[in-house]
Amino acid sequence: MPEHPELTIQGWGAPTRPRDATVAPGREGDDGTLVFAPFPPLAEVLPKAARRHLARELGWTPRATPPVAVREIRLAPSRLAEECRLRLVELLGEEHVRTDRDSRLRHAGGRSYLDLLRRREGDASDAPDAVVTPGSTGEAAALLGLCSEMGVVVVPYGGGTSVVGGLSGSDADDRPSISVDLGRMAEVTALDVPSSLVTVGPGMRGPALEEHLGEHRLTLGHLPQSWEFATLGGYAATRSAGQASTGLGRFDDLVAGLTLATPTGVLELGHPPASAAGPDLLGLALGSEGALGIITELRLRVRPRTRAGRYEGWSFRSWAAGLAGLQRLARHDLLPDVVRLSDPDETRANLLMSGGAGARALRGSLRARRHGAGCLLVVGWEGVPHLVRARAKAAASVLRDGGAVRVGRRVGESWRRHRFSAPYLRDSLMDAGLLVETLETAATWTALPGVYDAVRGALREALGSRGRTPLVLSHVSHGYATGASLYVTVLADRDDDLPIQQWLTAKRAATDALVAAGGTLTHHHAVGADHRPWLEREVGPLGVEVLRAVKQRLDPRGVCNPGVLLPD
C-alpha cells in the first residue's frame, strides 16, 4: 500500500490537560488579572468534512455557547480564619500563602468536562480558600501537621490536569480547604546513572525532566496526553499510564521509591531494585490521590535515549480482527511499545479530520482492500536498532497472520507528531454547543469485547434520547499479556438547559455498564471525586475498610483530600 505524505492522524478532543489559556488554571494578562484567550472557531481547527460528519451524526446544529468572562466567575470569600492564615504564614512565609482571587481561581477544579462546564457557567464554588507553596518535605510535613491540628482540608496541586474531580476539595464537614501547589518542589535533586535512577521533586513537569535528562542522554519516556502540563507527583498519585506504557511500563513501574509526607509523619517507601520485605507499601502511596498525604520526592527509573524509533500504521478489516491480532501479539510478548487500535467509528472520524490528499488516498486504498469500515492500528517501537527491527519483524508476522495490512510509516509518524494536540480542540468544540468528554477502562482480553459493547450501548442510550445521537469513538490505548485498556471519546449535542445533568446521567450509565461487564473502574485516570461511588464495587467493602484503616492511621483528622478516592 502506498505511503500517504500529507496524512495527519489525531484523536478527538480527549480532555486530559489544560490549554494554556483557558479558564483554569488560567493565564495572567498584561494587567495581572486572569483573561480568556479566545479559542479558535471550529471552522479553523476542524475540516469542513469533519464538521459535516459531526452535524450529520449527532443531529447537532453549530451555535455559539461561549463561556462567561473571568470577571463574572462567582467566588465566595475565603473561609480560612485569619488566625489559621497567620500560622501558615509563620510556617511558609507571607509570599507562600495566597488568598487572592486569581490564585484561588487558578487552583479551582481540574479539567474534566464537568469542571469546564462549571467554570464556563461562572461557578467556582470548588475553589480553595487559599493556595500555599511549601518548599521542602519538611515544610510539607509541618504543613500537614498544622492543617490536621487546625481542621483545614489539604488538596495537593500538581498540574491541575485531573479529569476525575481529583481537586474537588469537597469535605463532608465543610471545613476550609487549601490548595498545596508543589511548583516550588520541581528540581532534579540526584542522578545515579549506573543505577538508572533520578530523584525529582513532585512539582516537576515531564518536559523539564526530559530536558534535564537529555543532557545525560537519558529519558523517562512517560508520555501521557497531559504530558505538557501534568507533574511527576501527579502521575504517581493517580497511577498514570503513558502512550508508550505498553512497552515501558505504567508510571507505577517507573517509580522506584518516593517520600510521602502525612499528618502523622514522613514515609520513605520503596527499595530499588526489589524487595520481599513484607507487603508493598510503595503501592499504597501510588494511587493515593492526596488522600494519605503529599508525595514530596520521587525516585524514578530512567533509560538511555533511544537510538531507533519506528512507528507504523496497520489496518484490520474489523474491530474483532484487530482485538484478536493484538491479543496474539500480547500472548507471545510481542506487543510494540506503543499500541493504539481505533475502532471503526474512531477510524472513520480520524480519516475525516485529516484533510488533504493523503487521507483521501488512504481512504480510497482501504476501501479498495475492503477495509473501508475497518480499524486503524498505530504501533511504535523504541530501543536498540537491531532489536527494534527484530521485534517489528516478529510483530508484523503475527499481524499479517491476523489479516492486518500495513498502511505505512507515515500514519505512525503522523500520530507521533500530533500526539499531544487533540485536547486543544476541546474548547472550540464546547464553544459550538457540543458535549465532549472521555472515559476509560481496562479488561481481560476475554472480557474486553463485552465491555466495549456495554459502554457504547450505555452511552448511546443515555445520550440518544430526544432525537440526539452521540458519537462514541473508542480505541485500545495500552496492551498487556492479560488484557487491554479501552479509551472512549464521546461527542454529543449539548443539552443547553441541563448540561451537567446530561453528562452525569451518561457517565453513571457508562460506569455501571463497564463495571458490570468486568471492566476496571479506571485504567489510568484515577478515582477522584467522580468515581468514588463505585470504589466499593471495585475493591469490595472490606477493601474500602482496609484503605480507611490506613488513612485513619496516617490522617486521623481526615484533612487529606477528603473529597476523593474513599466513598463518604
Residues 389-418 that bind a second copy (CB under 8 A): 389-391, 393-394
- Any known ligand binding at 295? yes
Residue 151 or 283: which CB sits closer to a second copy?
Answer: 283
Nearest to 220 by CA among 300, 164, 282, 124: 300
CB of 557 vs a second copy, minimal distance in Å: 15
Query: Among residues 113, 235, 311, 487, which one is catalytic?
Result: 487
Q: Is residue 500 annotated as involved in ligand binding?
A: no
Positive or negative torsion for Cα 164, 168, 173, 178: positive
From the CB of 304, what's the least distance to a second copy, in Å? 6
Query: Contact at 8 Å (CB) between 153 and 559?
Result: yes
Residues 79-108 that bind a second copy (CB under 8 A): none
Mind spelling out the 3-state secondary structure of 526-550?
CCCCCCHHHHHHHHHHHHHHHHHHH
CB neighbourhood size of 278 (10 A): 6
Cβ-based nearer residue to a second copy, 9 or 163:
163
161 is in an annotated binding site: yes
Distances in whole angstroms, Cα of residue 137 to Cα of each of 118, 255, 286, 557: 34, 18, 17, 20
Q: Do the annotations mark residue 290 as ligand-binding?
A: yes
Q: How far apart are CA 170 and CA 109, in angstroms?
A: 10
Q: What is d(CA 61, CA 449) in angstroms, rounded to the nearest whole number? A: 33
Contact window for a second copy (CB under 8 A) among 50-58, 219-227, 261-269, 462-470: 261-269
Least separation in angstroms between residue 290's CB and a second copy is 12
- String marking each residue 223-252 x if it binds a second copy according to CB under 8 A: ---------------xxxx--------x-x
CB of 435 to a second copy, least distance (A): 24
Near a second copy by CB under 8 A, which window of 42-50, 60-68, 444-452, 499-507? 444-452
160 is in an annotated binding site: yes
291 known member of a binding site: yes
568 lines the binding site for a second copy (CB under 8 A): no
At which residue does the C-alpha cell 505512525 appear? 412
173 binds a second copy (CB under 8 A): no
Q: Taking CB under 8 A as the rule, does residue 266 contact a second copy?
A: yes
Q: How far is the CB of 211 from a second copy (least distance, A)?
A: 20
State which of residues 21, 91, 197, 361 lies at the interface with a second copy (CB under 8 A): 197
9 is in an annotated binding site: no
- Element housing 254 (H / E): helix 251-254
List the interface residues with a second copy, window 313-372 (CB under 8 A): 327, 330-334
The residue to which cell 520541581 is assigned? 186
CA distance 179 to 189: 24
Judged by CB under 8 A, the chain residues 548 through 567 that form the site for a second copy are 548-550, 552-554, 565
Cβ distance to a second copy smaller for residue 136 or 444? 444
Among positions 458-497, residues that touch a second copy (CB under 8 A) are 478, 480-485
Q: Is 531 in the site for a second copy (CB under 8 A)?
A: yes
Q: Is 292 annotated as a binding residue?
A: yes
156 marked among binding-site residues: yes
Q: Which of residues 424-443 bind a second copy (CB under 8 A)?
A: 442-443
Q: Which is nearer to a second copy, 118 or 299 (CB)?
A: 299
Distance CA 155, CA 249 (A): 28
Region binding a second copy by CB under 8 A among candidate stretches 29-37, 193-201, 453-461, 493-501: 193-201
- Nearest partner of 257 among 190, 207, 332, 313, judged by Cα: 190
Would you give the binding string for a second copy spanning residues 117-156, x where CB under 8 A is met? ----------------------------------------
Task: List the helix and strand counts (H, then E) for the chain.
Answer: 20, 20
Task: Yes or no: say if 246 and 326 are a contact pair by the CB < 8 Å rule.
Answer: no
Residues 6+ positions from 234 with CB-CB distance below 8 Å: 158, 159, 161, 162, 202, 240
Categorise residue 300: left if φ over 0, alpha if ψ from -120 to 50, beta otherwise: beta
Whole-angstrom CA distances from 46 to 13, 355, 362, 400, 423 are 11, 9, 19, 34, 13
Which segment (42-50, 367-375, 452-460, 515-523) binds a second copy by CB under 8 A? 515-523
Cell numbers at residue 185, please? Answer: 518542589
Please identify, among the stretches 39-47, 338-346, 452-460, 546-554, the one whose residues bind a second copy according to the rule CB under 8 A.
546-554
DSSP 177-244: EEEEE-TT---EEEEETTTTEEEE-TT-BHHHHHHHHHTTTEE-----TTTTT-BHHHHHHHT---TT
Tell me the window of 15-23, 176-184, 445-453, 462-470 that interacts with a second copy (CB under 8 A): 445-453
CA distance 182 to 276: 32
Give, to the nearest 10 degrees, the angle between helix 357-368 and helix 344-353. 140
Active-site residue, 487 included? yes
**Contacts (CB under 8 A) with a second copy, residues 23-52:** none
For a second copy, the closer of residues 163 and 492 by Cβ is: 163
Cell, residue 75: 467566588
Rg from Cα positions in the chain: 23
* Contact status: 192 vs a second copy (CB under 8 A): yes
Cβ-based nearer residue to a second copy, 270 or 408? 270
> Could you say which residues in the range 273-302 bind a second copy, by CB under 8 A?
273-289, 292, 301
- The residue from 63, 74, 271, 367 that contacts a second copy (CB under 8 A) is 271
What are the binding residues for substrate? Answer: 426
What are the binding residues for FAD? Answer: 156-162, 289-295
What are the binding residues? Answer: 156-162, 289-295, 426
Active-site annotation, residues: 487
